[in-house]
Amino acid sequence: MAGKPRAGVPGRARAGLAGDARLAWRLLRGAGRPEWWRLWLTVAGAAMAAGFALAAVALASLHGHYRVSFGHGLLDDPGERSGVIVSLLLLLLPVLGFLGQCARIGAVHRDRRLAGLRLAGATPAQVRRIAALETGPACLLGSLLAGAVAVPVVLGVWTGPTGWAWTGFALVVLGVPLLGAAAGALALRRVVASPLGRVRRVRPAGGRGPGLLFTAGVLLVLLLALWSVADTSGTDRGQVPLTVCALVLAGGAGTVWLAGGTAGAVGRLLARRARAAATLIAAERLRDDPWAAARTHAAVLLVTLAGTAFVGVRQALLADLREASREHSLGTDMAFYTTGIDLTGAALLVALLITLSGLAVGTVESVANRRRGLAAQVASGVPRAVLGRALLLETALPLAPALVLAGAAGMAIGVGYGSLVQGGRPTVPYAALLVPPAVYGCCLLAAAGSLPLLRRSADPARLRYA
């Protein structure tokens, strides 16, 4: 007599990891164009993350004084190399923000599909494995591509890579897909716990989390400052690295908090006073979900603050270096200092490009998720031009006051550094005033890239199939 199958468990659930891999592949093959866009953008983001991490590992593997054939001696000594390593690791922040935006592409349909599997009888562990198998291979491909580029470069400029360097390379190449798979599984914790909850409209999250992180970071900085003042031993006991980590924590959480709070405040203010149709639509959208693009806007604010401060610091530092060069008091060649300054500026430009890419991806995803509502608005008589202006205003309205604050903070840093270098004679770096408007214009151009998709998505004929 044939055994009775277990109720509620599909036949593929007993096939283990191989069966889950086949099911994940079939789900990907049957997915639409947004899912494939998500995978290829994930590959690009993983390649960037692995590339920065591999460069940091290669530099960290150098011990003592090592003659590097490029950089005008900037990478020869451990002190300067540590600064470059920190810069490379900080570039991972905008990359992680970009990957977070990529993970949102098709999130609604992907969550409903996996929630359907859960309702069909798949176990929570099986849903997590399928989610991991959808994200992990894309991250693995990106890390392998970065490794395939990094290894020949390292062999060309490094005569004898150590075993620690190869071990670090292997850990990075294998660690990036593992982290990506874990993040994909973690993102579905609510789907696994309550699959029905994923097909209902939920209230957007509030800003309590970023606010608490910002407060914790500020308190940690204050405690470390008190520790540094009270410590009279004169030795470094880890205060500087801990202070940097606390500042990054407080700055990141503070910018997320500022971006979401600004969007909500602007939305509530304009919803009561605006009269134009595009402004009203944008204000209601911001008031309904002010935290939708807070992470991307936070990265924009961080880059604006750092860029504005960098322009002011660069002006004061170059003036001081030129004066020291005239007095023949420089300890090394002028190119040594200018190379470091130029590399810092290049890193900020790379961070800006990554952030703008994340902003463009987030705007496109917002249009794709609202295509049914957009089509309904066009069918009811709203012109497409009004919807296009409303889409741009969703980016322009909350970013304007936030960028003013970020630019003011960056200017304060630049002026303060200049006054310290020049003996209390503050000079205003007027070139730094151009950074916030330039970033603002780039953000509007990135958001405008979604207008062609808006015109296709706002077709009333889509109401028959959406």
Q: Is the distance from CB of 150 to CB of 27 less than 8 angstroms?
A: no
> What does the pLDDT read at residue 377?
84
Which tokens go with 270?
Answer: 């304009």
> What does the pLDDT read at residue 1?
41
Give 34-53 pLDDT, tens digit per residue.
Answer: 677 778 888 998 999 999 99
Q: Is the distance from CB of 362 to CB of 101 less than 8 angstroms?
A: yes
> What does the pLDDT read at residue 215?
61
Using a pLDDT cut of 90, give the percent of the chain over it: 6
Q: Is 238 exposed, middle or buried (0-12, 13-18, 19+ CB in 10 A)?
A: exposed
Which tokens go with 433?
Answer: 């005033």
- End-to-end alpha carbon distance in the chain: 47
Tell me the domain boundaries of the chain.
Answer: 15-202, 211-227+238-466
> What does the pLDDT read at residue 443?
93
The pTM score is 0.77
Least confident of 241-250, 350-359, 401-410: 241-250
Q: Is the distance from CB of 269 to CB of 371 less than 8 angstroms?
A: no
Phi-psi region at 330: left, alpha or beta (left = phi > 0; alpha = psi -120 to 50): beta
Over residues 315-333, mean pLDDT:
73
> pLDDT band at residue 3, thresholds of 50, 70 and 90?
very low
Using a pLDDT cut of 70, give the percent of the chain over it: 71
* Identity of the residue numbered 328: H
| Closest listed residue to residue 165, CA positions, set 156, 178, 154 | 154
Residue 343: pLDDT over 60: yes
> What does the pLDDT read at residue 248?
62
Q: Is 274 exposed, middle or buried (0-12, 13-18, 19+ CB in 10 A)?
A: middle
| Closest listed residue to residue 180, CA positions, set 96, 93, 113, 86 | 96
146 vs 232, residue with greater confidence: 146
Give 436-458 pLDDT, tens digit per residue.
Answer: 999 999 999 999 988 888 888 77
Q: Is 187 exposed, middle or buried (0-12, 13-18, 19+ CB in 10 A)?
A: middle
Residue 301: pLDDT over 60: yes
Give 69-115 pLDDT, tens digit per residue.
Answer: 666 666 767 777 777 888 888 888 788 778 877 776 766 666 677 77
